Amino acid sequence: DIQMTQSPSSLSASVGDRVTISCRTSQSVSNYLNWYRQKPGKAPELLVYAASRLQSGVPSRFSGSGSGTDFTLTISSLQPEDFATYYCQHSYKGPLTFGGGTKVETK
């Protein structure tokens, strides 16, 4: 099975900050990598699919990059609603798996 490692597991930031979250896979997943945001007490929301394609309706401050085994989610200017937990997920082969999550907290 493909293992997913997100880093950091948590970070502290302020509104307006640029935030970068990393996801590394144990083997290449090509660009079969998606990103989600989960606000407290809510269901996850798809932000980015296929590594870099922004899901419809998602603000342009979100962007994804990478291919193979190393991927990045960037929030260009953190907004109050972005204090949440972020997950990466692959769908390359074998069981679909999520990363362990990155919690973005208020500094």
Partner 1 sequence: DVQLVESGGQLIQPGGSLRLSCGASGFTFNSHEMNWVRQAPGKGLEWVSYISSSGSTTVYADSVKGRFTISRDNARNSLYLQMNYLRAEDTALYYCARGLVVIPADLVAFDAWGQGTMVTVSS
Binding residues (CB under 8 A) for partner 1: these are 1, 32, 34, 36, 38, 42-46, 49-50, 55, 87, 89, 91, 95-101
- Token reading at 88: 């990466």
> Closer to partner 1 at the Cβ: 55 or 74?
55
Q: Are 98 and 3 in contact (CB under 8 A)?
A: no
Query: What is the nearest approach in angstroms of partner 1 to the Cβ of residue 29?
Result: 10
Query: What is the nearest approach in angstroms of partner 1 to the Cβ of residue 44?
Result: 6
The identity of residue 87, as a single letter, is Y
Within 13 Å, how many C-alpha atoms sit on residue 2's CB side? 24
Classify 46 as helix, strand or coil. strand
> Closer to partner 1 at the Cβ: 32 or 82?
32
Q: Are 23 and 99 in contact (CB under 8 A)?
A: yes
> Closer to partner 1 at the Cβ: 17 or 67?
67
